[in-house]
Structure 1
Amino acid sequence: MRELRTWREYLIEQLAADWEDAIDYLQVTVEGYQEDGDTPLFMLGLRTFVESQGGIAKVAQRAGIASESLSKVLSSDAPPRIDTLVTILNAFGWQLSIEPLKGKKSDLEKPSKEEVDLNTAGEKISEQVTQTPLS
């Protein structure tokens, strides 16, 4: 008789067998959290990724953190602190990056490409300021 597995068990096995798929899965997990803010789903995705990479003990050792600490982070439904997430990603040679949201325009102005000479910038600013006489 064939042994039945859950979808998650199958997924962990597949991610363990294919590094590129594991990284794609983690990327989709992070993007999904960015879009909908579903923390429990994000944490499930992070736990699934960690399990596919050898489990808590192996990932904790690779990241240089205590297994108990990683276990506590992953068993919570609260999102991990940014430094914890960065530590986990760094252990696999990955980093967080800042990218524009797809389909969204930033309200921030891009800095001008004009270089500023800090030695003379103060002089130029003071020339532009007009003083009003005191009455």
Structure 2
Amino acid sequence: MKKAAVSHHEAEVRELRADPELAVAYLKAAMASLDDPEDRAAGLLALRTVAEAYGGLGAVAAEAGISRESLYRALSPRGNPTLKTLVAVLKTVGMRLSVEPEHRESA
């Protein structure tokens, strides 16, 4: 009997759902990409993946007080979510924004 194939995305969602610390580390690393306009899509898609892991986009949107369509659009590769949307989604999945100093090499 053959095992059903699981997509990389499905496996990723399952791992993030099972390990909240991994979800935080995953999202933290991906959010660093938001600084680079050429790589911004990676951060938005990572937040979307975490939202899928924590109940699905529909449930997260409802709890965050955002329409599902707006959340899909905001967390798409070309999305441009507002600060209000980012904060609401992060809060819904049990996370929050924080600020860290940028690590710069000394001259």
TM range (shorter): 0.7 to 0.9
2:34 aligned counterpart, secondary structure: helix
TM-score by length of 1: 0.66
> Cα RMSD over matched residues?
2.0
Once the two structures are aligned, what percentage of the paired residues are identical? 36
Q: Structure 2: which amino acid aligns with 1:32?
A: S
Give per-residue Cα distances to partners, 1:47-83, cap 9 Å, x unaligned.
2111111111111122122222212222351331222
Give per-residue Cα distances to partners, 1:72-113, cap 9 Å, x unaligned.
2223513312221111112234322222102357xxxxxxxx
Q: Distance in 2 between matches of 1:23 and 1:53?
A: 12
Q: Structure 2: which amino acid aligns with 1:11?
A: E
> Any unmatched runs of 5+ in structure 2?
none
Q: Structure 1: which amino acid aligns with 2:22?
A: D
Give the C-alpha shift of residue 40 in structure 1.
Answer: 1.8
Q: Distance in 1 between matches of 2:8 and 2:18?
A: 15
Q: Structure 1: which amino acid aligns with 2:59?
A: K
Report runs of 4+ in structure 1 exceeding 4 Å deviation.
none
1:2 maps to: 3
Q: Distance in 2 between matches of 1:93 and 1:104?
A: 33
> Any unmatched runs of 5+ in structure 1?
106-135
Q: Distance in 2 between matches of 1:84 and 1:19?
A: 21
Q: Which has the higher contact order (CA 8 A, sep 6+)?
A: 2
TM-score by length of 2: 0.80
Q: Distance in 2 between matches of 1:104 and 1:86?
A: 30
The number of aligned residues is 104
